[in-house]
Amino acid sequence: MNVEYDLVDASIFDIIPNRLNQKIAFLAKDIENNEYIFKPSWQGHYHNINEFISHYIASLIEAPIVKGTFLKIDAETMREYHNKIQLGIPHAVLPTYIPPYNEAVFFAVEYLKDATHAKTVSHLKNNLEETTNKESFFSQFSLDQYLKNYDRHLGNHIFYKNVNTVFFYLIDFDRIFYGHTDWSKLDFQLDNTDCFSNKGYNADLYHIVEDADMKKVHDYAAHISNRITDEEIERICSIIDYAYTVEKPYLDKIDNWLKHRREIIYNACLKNEFCFSNVSQEGVFK
């Protein structure tokens, strides 16, 4: 499967604070009025690049993600909205990395403004039944384990209706790599594949999985093992090197992380079956 991204010129037209008014997502549109959403980088480049890495990996294994692209943001709107944040939301965490305005390239995804976020586990399960891509829901358990994404809470599952068809998507991957915002720590617990235990986030989702679903989790783990080739990982690093300013030692750490954990992810998912409270031991070995 070929993963390709466009680079389009765009201008910011609005901002979306999170529920605590601390961190900001930007809304942008291109000359054809296609709308996108992206998070700037709060510490170094990390958050925005994490979104790109995750999107590329998810694309290779056909996990349910919104279409992504790279945006070159218009200099004037970048200045304008950076100033608006400073004036209008004084306690917001401002991006500590604002690239030179003639190099403001960010990874973004299509903005689905009418999408519905999952509110409760019951709401998530019931809405999944109405989607055409329900099976892809189970990709998250292998994908988030591979990338150690600590931010898979209910609100990061969305449903979007296009005409008469409802699609399910996973969003928000900026806290992969154990949630670290410092890539110098990427070697920390490189082999850690323990089940997620953070209540209110990933840990609350395990009990959705039942016996019949475990093969789907295994299948996505196998996709990671087989489709995330050395060549694809090296291409990820080359795109990062082209689109951003990243020192080579950090690129080497990303390369090592993705290659090393690819080799252990399938066995990790077998081991972690016991974290799924609604999966019986008989179901584990089916």
The C-alpha atoms of residue 129 and residue 131 are separated, in whole angstroms, by 6
Say if residues 243 and 235 touch (Cβ distance below 8 Å): no
**What pLDDT does 78 receive?**
75
**What pLDDT does 273 receive?**
86
- pLDDT at position 175 over 80: yes
**Tokens representing residue 160 in the block:** 């979007």
- Report the chain's C-alpha Rg in angstroms: 19
Q: Pick the range with the lowest mean pLDDT from 46-60, 82-96, 130-144, 263-277.
A: 82-96
Say if residues 86 and 94 touch (Cβ distance below 8 Å): yes
**Tokens representing residue 51 in the block:** 């979104």
CB contact set of 150 (below 8 Å; sequence gap of 6+): 175, 176, 178, 179, 196, 198, 201, 202
Q: Pick the range with the lowest mean pLDDT from 42-46, 74-78, 229-233.
A: 42-46
- pLDDT at position 232 over 50: yes
**Between these two residues, 81 and 146, which has the higher pLDDT value?**
146
The C-alpha atoms of residue 205 and residue 182 are separated, in whole angstroms, by 27
The CB density around residue 239, as the number of other CB atoms within 10 Å, is 18
Side-chain-facing half-sphere of 97: CA atoms under 13 Å: 19
- pLDDT at position 184 over 60: yes
pTM of the model: 0.92
- pLDDT at position 88 over 70: no
The C-alpha atoms of residue 222 and residue 23 are separated, in whole angstroms, by 35
The C-alpha atoms of residue 223 and residue 170 are separated, in whole angstroms, by 17
- pLDDT at position 22 over 80: no
- pLDDT at position 27 over 60: yes
**What pLDDT does 6 receive?**
96
